[in-house]
Structure 1
Amino acid sequence: MALILLALLLVLFVLIYKFSMAPYGVFRDRGIVHESPRPFIGNLSLRVLFGRTPFIEMLIHKYQKFKQYKVYGFYNIREPFFVLHDVELIKKVGIQDFDYFTNHRDMIAEFSESLFSKCLISLKGDKWREMRNTLTPAFTGSKLKAMFELINECSLEGVRYIESELRNSNSLDIELEMKDYFERFANDVIASAAFGIKVNSFVDKTNQFYKAGQSVIHFTGLAMLKIILYGIMPRVIKALGISLFDPRKTEYFKSLIFDAMKYRAEHKIIRSDMIHLLMEAKRNFLLQETIPESSTEHAEFNDDDLLAQCVLFFVVGFEIMSVCLAYLTYELCMNPTVQSKLYEEIHKVEQELQGKPLTYPMLSKMKYMDLVISELLRLWPPAFSLDRVCSKDIDILDDNQEVLAKFRKDDIIIIPVIALHRDPENFPEPDRFKPERFLEENKDQIKPFTYLPFGLGPRSCIGKLTLFNNSTNKLQSCFYLFSGNRMALMEVKSIIYHLLSKFQLVPGEKTVKNMMDSLKGFHMQPKDKFWIKFVRRDVL
């Protein structure tokens, strides 16, 4: 009996092992260099999974290890990723052969049945093209500029909060945790400039809009476990009816948006915010002529589609913006020379204003601020990697008709943005915060397709600015300026302008000394958080 039980256990072990290793023959069969995968987790590091090593450090390490190869393989749990290192390949995939690589991958099987599947970033093929063409006219510079006063008022509230805290503490300086601070600032901007409601999350720290946003953005440990299980056994988890997202979390936003739309329509109210722009986009979409017969799948623009875009803007505007601003204030704090130069520019603008409120045109004149933000996005890009899915088989050739790479239908292509940004061959002294890299006279030193903070090609950020050669109308550079994303730029410039005009940022007792060492796992918030000391300038 014991022998039979042992034999059954041995068979079970073999079956489990075979199941765990079943997906890992792709790169071997295709002749793609890669590391030996581990059962179930592939090439994903256990130290990353258990939060002991930052994911971005692993990404940079793998890039350096396989740098001499144009493509290398990485098994992300059970998914094979074809990681690109060659800039010629990156250009081909992102631009020249874009029709073969139009779509992003499905992050999780659950997404296909959730509200997130209707977001612009999740749409595929013709549905994506039609929605992109519908939304792009709504986000012109002139329309976004109209939001400036709403954004600037939120910045002023943020400064008033710090001044109030200083008065209450009867002190000349104060230490603040910047991720929490900028979450509240970004929350108020989104509430005002996107959803058309007035909140002050610095004063009312538990307002309903802020709490609803926290529930959507921040995953609990259980949600993270579900994400891992979906990656390992999506069919099993789906069959068990386990849902990743709680649909009740979107109900608050749903009622908020549609009640506002109904009220505005009934009272003929026009407000320069995101809801108004999306209402315009929906109206224009419904007025369009019939979609060409060549289009196989069509986009829709019903209430759920409009809600999905609002939720997408909330996620981007809340989480990504607060993280970027936290890193920006940290870098200014740790680089006092850069902070001093930026303050000099801010002080000159203040003198020009002569006591008048800050305006969008004056904000646009701050060129050193542009350099600082561009360097921030190099060192800490919002997206550490880009992905594309191959829609049909293709052999990619170079200019001499030599094969660069062979991709097959459903291959997942990854571009390791942060590794490109931190490659010393692309950016000398890559770990140094040096805004002067982006001076006009230094732009030629930046290699095309090595700086990709807002993505690449037609599927890059909807507000991005791309530099073209007018004589040929062909893309000559992949140098994306942060000024392309006008709303994000207004938000960052406005709050940084007002903070630095009133306070000097200096390291405090809790300030992280080495940011990379403080990052763990997939989290972009250091374990010791973003503590920075604010010192009043009028006492310096």
Structure 2
Amino acid sequence: MFDAFSSYSGMLLIIIFSAVFGFIYQFVLRSWFYFSDRNVKFVRGMPLLGSTFKSVIGLEPSAISFRRLYEYFPKEKFIGIYDFGGRPSYLIRDPDLIKQLIVTDCDHFISNKLAIKNENDYFSQTLFGMCGSLFGKWSGMEYTTNLLFSTNKMPMMHELMVKITEQFIETLKRTDKIAKIFDSRDLFTRYTNDIIAKTAFDVEMNSLNGIDNEFYNAGSALNECRYVDGLKFLASLNFPSIIKTLDVFGAKEKHISTLRKFLGKTIEARTNKKSDRNNLIDLLIQARNGKLECNNSDDKIDIGFATTVELTTSKPKDEIQECTDDDIALQCVAFYLSTLSSVSQIACFMFHELALNPDIQDKLYAEINSVKNDLNGSSITYEIIPKMKYLDMVLCETLRRWCPIPFLERTCISPYVLETNGEKCIELQIDNGIFIPTYGLQMDEKYFPKPMKFNPERFSEENKGSIQTGTYLPFGIGTRNSIGSRFMIITIKTLVFHLLSEFYVDKSYKTPDPLKLKALPLLMDAEKGFFIELRRRNPDRTPYESQVFT
């Protein structure tokens, strides 16, 4: 009996040792000398946790980690790094090389790490995660979604934005007639929620009046910027089977399910009812039925310097006609969550900067007031907003200083030779990752002097022409850039126009100054939150005098 027990214990130890050794080899030893063998300068970081390990374990924001990597070898056009999980990847530092890889040779990097793990999970079924066998459906979804933000549809959408924004301002006026401190995150999340619900789904939410509903509560919970959520998401990309077994996303999946069911009912009602709204749901249903028509105009209105260029040129593939109601609901959920997060985040940073820079706010208010006087009581239109140059300058500088996407990632899907003027010749292998340190580039003094200073003049008509392509990427570049950047920009500009027309934005005792970023592995957020003080303006006084209460 003792011999049998000893034999069993010995076998168990061998199995455990083999499993541990296999794990160490797979994620540490196999790629330990990957870059040194290729004579590429690299930053090793920590085994398994990668080169950005400080952000992974919650010691610093991912934006700072990637900026640090960007500054390690300032003379190199690219360096080697390890991502979370130990995958050998390349950090691209050179703007021309970025354009070559992500735009010119984008067919080699059409995928990203988010899109290659599991074609059966929720994220891989959305526009942001489709790849592999789902690529045909992705191209169709991308084409259809881009139509929502085309020149001939945005003006109609903007009319709805204006109505909701005017209601938003009236709600703020009723809260108090003196200065009041607001939690910017909550305030702008509610605003964005109602904008998206009405313009993309034609659903009235009214969360601006403090009316919580199932849809808003689910979106708000999913929009929370918590370290543990970012870590779970990273872990799910590298260890999907383990994460699925542990069911660490149970709570999040319940919220996603709530949104899917809510939108599913809307889609079912629209399927058998003709609608001329041309919102996202209607467009996806039309595409599925093979009745989608493109009436895009070639002379698109330039609504901002930061708008990404849409590279989609072909009509959707047949795969989109195989979409179910649930597939459409998933696309709507993904669009809702990404836009809700981005717009509310950008608005928080922008109004934070306006509160800390009263001279910039006064100059912006002067432009807004001039346009408002010209309107003579009429509502602002989609065509007028692009003419407000200083508003665009302030938004562009916000997107530079507080980049909504601190880094971009792509995965190599076919062998590619990486060349830099003949100096180096590296063959990228399938599944190699490439990272673009967006925040590092936009905070590089070589491209943007005194990068810590908030200076909208960088984007004046005289100066923005000197900004090098590939150094300013707030919404990404090439394929898989940020779908809906046009929607986000026009939403934020509409909000700023109306809010500054009626209120002076000031910092309060709760406003962080200087603002410190929260240690998150993915997104950017303020460590101590966003808080602003709003004061009613008096239209009969100068911008400075209008700071007093009415």
TM-score range, shorter chain: 0.7 to 0.9
Give the corresponding residue for 2:427. 406
Cα-Cα RMSD: 3.2
Q: Which amino acid aligns with 1:159?
A: I
Summarize deviations over 1:122-145 as a string: whole Å, max 9, x none. Answer: 222444334333443343111122
Which of 67, 75, 80 is matched with 2:74 structurally?
67
* CA–CA distance in structure 2, aligned partners of residues 73 and 297 of structure 1: 40
Cα 1:448–1:420 change in 2 (3 A) is same
Give the corresponding residue for 2:219. 213
Q: Secondary structure at the match of 1:428?
A: coil
Q: Secondary structure at the match of 1:526?
A: coil
Give the corresponding residue for 1:475. none
Asked if the contact 1:141–1:486 (Cα under 8 Å) also holds between the matched residues in 2, the reply is: no
Asked if the contact 2:44–2:82 (Cα under 8 Å) also holds between the matched residues in 1, the reply is: no
Summarize deviations over 1:207-260 as a string: whole Å, max 9, x none. Answer: 222112124333777655643543564344445666567544334333433433
Cα 1:245–1:307 change in 2 (3 A) is farther
Asked if the contact 1:520–1:526 (Cα under 8 Å) also holds between the matched residues in 2, the reply is: no
Confirm whether residue 90 of structure 1 aligns to residue 98 of structure 2: yes
* CA–CA distance in structure 2, aligned partners of residues 198 and 329 of structure 1: 26
Summarize deviations over 1:91-116 as a string: whole Å, max 9, x none. Answer: 2101221221121222684x532232
Number of equivalences: 503
Structure 1 residue 520 displacement after superposition: 2.2
Q: Which runs of 5+ in 1 are unaligned?
A: 289-294, 464-484
Q: After superposition, where does 1:509-528 map in structure 2 within 5 Å?
A: 509-515=509-515, 517-522=516-521, 524-528=524-528
Q: After superposition, where does 1:4-15 map in structure 2 within 5 Å?
A: 15=21
Q: After superposition, where does 1:282-361 map in structure 2 within 5 Å?
A: 282-284=288-290, 298=319, 300-361=322-383
Cα 1:113–1:218 change in 2 (3 A) is farther
Asked if the contact 1:108–1:230 (Cα under 8 Å) also holds between the matched residues in 2, the reply is: no
Which of 53, 56, 59 is matched with 2:60 structurally?
53
Cα 1:327–1:219 change in 2 (3 A) is closer
* CA–CA distance in structure 2, aligned partners of residues 535 and 134 of structure 1: 42
* CA–CA distance in structure 2, aligned partners of residues 520 and 116 of structure 1: 24
Structure 1 residue 180 displacement after superposition: 0.9
* CA–CA distance in structure 1, aligned partners of residues 273 and 25 of structure 2: 65
Structure 1 residue 118 displacement after superposition: 2.2
* CA–CA distance in structure 2, aligned partners of residues 377 and 204 of structure 1: 29
Q: Which amino acid aligns with 1:176?
A: F
Summarize deviations over 1:309-348 as a string: whole Å, max 9, x none. Answer: 2112101221111001000101111121211111011001
Asked if the contact 1:127–1:298 (Cα under 8 Å) also holds between the matched residues in 2, the reply is: yes
Structure 1 residue 161 displacement after superposition: 2.6
Q: Secondary structure at the match of 2:80?
A: strand
Confirm whether residue 152 of structure 1 aligns to residue 162 of structure 2: yes
Which of 137, 142, 146 is matched with 2:152 structurally?
142
Confirm whether residue 198 of structure 1 aligns to residue 204 of structure 2: yes
Cα 1:411–1:52 change in 2 (3 A) is closer
* CA–CA distance in structure 1, aligned partners of residues 108 and 190 of structure 2: 41
Confirm whether residue 105 of structure 1 aligns to residue 127 of structure 2: no
Asked if the contact 2:194–2:207 (Cα under 8 Å) also holds between the matched residues in 1, the reply is: yes
Structure 1 residue 404 displacement after superposition: 5.2
Confirm whether residue 455 of structure 1 aligns to residue 485 of structure 2: no
Cα 1:448–1:287 change in 2 (3 A) is closer
Q: Which amino acid aligns with 2:71?
A: Q
Cα 1:262–1:380 change in 2 (3 A) is same
Q: Secondary structure at the match of 1:535?
A: strand
Q: Which amino acid aligns with 2:233?
A: I
Which of 249, 256, 264 is matched with 2:255 structurally?
249
Give the corresponding residue for 2:398. 376
Greater CA drift, 227-236 or 148-157: 227-236
Structure 1 residue 435 displacement after superposition: 1.4
* CA–CA distance in structure 1, aligned partners of residues 137 and 257 of structure 2: 25
Q: Secondary structure at the match of 1:361?
A: coil
Q: Which amino acid aligns with 1:532?
A: I
Cα 1:297–1:76 change in 2 (3 A) is farther
Q: TM-score, normalised by structure 1?
A: 0.84
Q: Which amino acid aligns with 1:373?
A: L
Give the corresponding residue for 1:431. 452
Structure 1 residue 534 displacement after superposition: 1.1
Cα 1:244–1:504 change in 2 (3 A) is same
Asked if the contact 1:135–1:281 (Cα under 8 Å) also holds between the matched residues in 2, the reply is: no
Structure 1 residue 179 displacement after superposition: 0.9
Q: After superposition, where does 1:18-37 map in structure 2 within 5 Å?
A: 18=25, 21-25=28-32, 26-37=34-45
Q: Which amino acid aligns with 1:279?
A: I
Greater CA drift, 182-191 or 147-156: 147-156
Greater CA drift, 276-285 or 218-227: 218-227
